[in-house]
C-alpha cells in the first residue's frame, strides 16, 4: 500500500469505521533512521487503533524503529515479510525474508525487547513456485518462538522473479485453505487472512476459520465498503449514514490540515473512489482531482463536489423501457 495509506487516507477511513484497525503504508527502517522520522510517524489520535508497518531486516535497526513507534503512540508494530518488489528485495527485506526465518525471528525478538506494544508479522504463504506450506510453517514456528503471536497471511505465494508487484497480487493463485489450515494447526496463534477479499460476506465466511481479515486495496479503491464493517462484523451501529455524511464528517479534519498548510489534494486524492458505482461519480472525481489543485482551494470544495454530484445524477435521463 505504498503511497496509499498515508495519515490522511487513514484518517478518512476512520470516519467510515470506528472499529477496524488501520495500518500505515510500509515504512523502511532506513526512512525512519536516516530520513524525516517525524513526518513518517505522524498520525492523528482519531486513527487509533493504528499499526506501523515496518520493512527491514537488521535486528538492531528494527529495534530502534520499534522504540520510535512505541514512543510515537502506535498500537502495534507489523513487520512486512510479504512485499515482493525488486526494490524491497534489493534491501533484503519483504517476501525474500521468508527464506530467512531465523533472521525474522531475531528481528521480532529485538523489537519485543525494547517495547511493550505487540509485534506482528505480515507474510505470504510461500515464495516462488513452491506450493508446499513448509516454508510458511517454518517461519511461523521460528517467529512465534521469538514472541510473535499474530500473523497476517496474504494467501498467495510471492514470485520473486519475473512478476511485477501488481502481477504478484493477481497471478499467483489464492489458496485460502493454507491459511485456514495454519489456524487449525496453531489454534494458540491469532491468524488473519489477507488477499483478494472484496466483500463483507467473504469476510464473514473467512471469520468462521480464522481470527481476522485484512482488507488492502479493496478498502482503498472501494472505501464505502468500510462503512459497513462496524455493523456487519462487530455488531455496532454504522458511524455514517451516507457517503455525503462521511464527506461532511471528514471536513473539519480537512479544514484544519489546509489551515496548517497541507495541500487540499493531499486529502482529496484519497476520496476519489468514495462514490464508486454511483451515477455522477465522474463529476465527483473530476471536481476533486482538477479543482482541488486551484490556488486557494479549500474545504468548501468538498461541499461543491457534493452539489455537482447531485446535479450530475439529476441530469441523467433514465433509459426508455
Determine the pLDDT at residue 166.
83
pLDDT at residue 25 greater than cutoff 80: yes
Determine the pLDDT at residue 86.
63
Determine the pLDDT at residue 201.
98
pLDDT class for 163, splitting at 50, 70, 90?
A: confident
What secondary structure does DSSP assign to 248-259, as a single string?
Answer: HHHHHHHHHHHH
Determine the pLDDT at residue 3.
83
Percent of the chain surpassing pLDDT 90 = 83
Mean residue pLDDT across the chain = 93
- Residues 292 and 263: their CA atoms lie apart, in Å, by 9
Q: Averaged over 205-216, what is the pLDDT?
A: 98
Q: Say if residue 182 is exposed, middle or buried (CB neighbours under 10 Å; 0-12, 13-18, 19+).
A: buried
pLDDT at residue 317 greater than cutoff 80: no
pLDDT at residue 89 greater than cutoff 70: no
The 3-state DSSP class for residue 108 equals: helix
pLDDT at residue 113 greater than cutoff 70: yes
For 206, residues 6+ apart whose C-beta sits below 8 A from its C-beta are 176, 180, 193, 197, 213
Give 83 or 234, the one with higher predicted confidence. Answer: 234
Domains and CATH numbers, the chain: 7-222 (3.20.20.70), 243-314 (1.20.120.1460)
Determine the pLDDT at residue 78.
98
Determine the pLDDT at residue 90.
52
pLDDT class for 87, splitting at 50, 70, 90?
A: low
Q: Averaged over 241-262, what is the pLDDT?
A: 97
Q: Between vectors from CA 181 to CA 125 and to CA 136, what angle results, nearest 5°? A: 30
| Pick from 22, 78, 19: nearest CA to 215 | 22
Which residues have a catalytic role annotated? 83
Determine the pLDDT at residue 319.
60
Q: Running DSSP on this structure, what letter comes out for residue 233?
A: I
Q: Averaged over 26-48, what is the pLDDT?
A: 96
What secondary structure does DSSP assign to 3-59, as a single string?
Answer: TTS-HHHHHHHHHH-SSSPEEPPPEEHHHHHHS-HHHHH---GGG-SEEEEEE---H
Give 27 or 170, the one with higher predicted confidence. Answer: 27
The model's pLDDT over 176-210, given as tens digits with 9 standing for 90+, comes to 999 999 999 999 999 999 999 999 999 999 999 99
pLDDT class for 42, splitting at 50, 70, 90?
A: very high
pLDDT class for 321, splitting at 50, 70, 90?
A: low
Identify the bridge partners of residue 55 per DSSP, sorted by sequence position: 28
Determine the pLDDT at residue 128.
86
Determine the pLDDT at residue 222.
97
Direct distance between the N- and C-terminal alpha carbons of the chain, in angstroms, rounded to an integer: 44
The model's pLDDT over 116-139, given as tens digits with 9 standing for 90+, comes to 999 999 999 999 888 889 999 999
- Residues 315 and 133: their CA atoms lie apart, in Å, by 55
pLDDT at residue 93 greater than cutoff 60: yes
Amino acid at each position: 500500500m505504498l503511497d496509499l495509506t498515508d495519515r490522511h487516507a487513514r484518517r478518512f477511513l476512520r470516519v467510515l469505521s470506528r472499529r477496524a484497525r488501520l495500518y500505515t503504508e510500509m515504512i523502511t527502517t532506513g526512512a525512519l533512521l536516516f530520513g524525516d522520522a517525524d513526518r513518517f510517524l505522524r498520525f492523528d489520535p482519531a486513527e487509533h487503533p493504528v499499526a506501523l508497518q515496518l520493512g527491514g531486516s537488521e535486528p538492531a535497526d528494527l529495534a530502534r524503529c520499534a522504540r520510535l513507534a512505541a514512543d510515537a503512540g502506535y498500537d502495534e508494530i507489523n513487520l512486512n515479510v510479504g512485499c515482493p518488489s525488486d526494490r524491497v528485495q534489493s534491501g533484503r527485506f519483504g517476501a525474500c525474508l521468508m527464506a530467512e526465518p531465523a533472521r525474522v525471528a531475531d528481528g521480532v525478538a529485538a523489537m519485543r525487547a525494547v517495547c511493550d506494544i505487540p509485534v506482528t508479522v505480515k507474510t505470504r504463504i510461500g515464495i516462488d513456485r513452491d506450493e508446499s506450506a513448509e516454508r510458511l510453517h517454518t517461519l511461523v514456528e521460528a517467529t512465534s518462538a521469538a514472541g510473535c503471536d499474530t500473523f497476517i497471511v496474504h494467501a498467495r505465494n510471492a514470485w520473486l522473479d519475473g512478476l511485477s508487484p501488481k502481477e504478484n497480487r493477481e497471478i499467483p493463485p489464492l489458496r485460502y485453505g493454507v491459511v485456514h489450515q495454519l489456524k487449525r494447526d496453531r489454534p494458540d496463534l491469532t491468524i488473519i487472512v489477507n488477499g483478494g477479499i472484496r466483500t463483507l460476506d467473504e469476510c464473514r465466511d473467512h471469520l468462521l476459520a480464522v481470527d481476522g481479515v485484512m482488507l488492502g486495496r479493496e478498502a482503498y479503491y472501494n472505501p464505502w465498503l468500510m462503512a459497513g464493517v462496524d455493523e456487519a462484523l462487530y455488531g455496532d451501529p454504522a458511524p455514517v449514514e451516507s457517503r455525503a455524511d462521511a464527506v461532511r464528517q471528514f471536513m473539519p479534519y480537512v479544514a484544519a490540515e489546509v489551515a496548517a498548510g497541507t495541500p487540499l489534494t493531499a486529502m482529496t486524492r484519497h476520496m476519489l473512489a468514495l462514490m464508486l458505482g454511483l451515477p455522477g461519480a465522474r463529476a465527483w472525481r473530476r471536481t476533486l482531482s482538477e479543482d482541488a489543485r486551484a490556488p486557494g482551494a479549500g474545504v468548501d470544495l468538498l461541499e461543491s463536489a457534493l452539489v455537482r454530484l447531485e446535479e450530475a445524477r439529476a441530469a441523467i435521463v433514465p433509459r426508455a423501457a
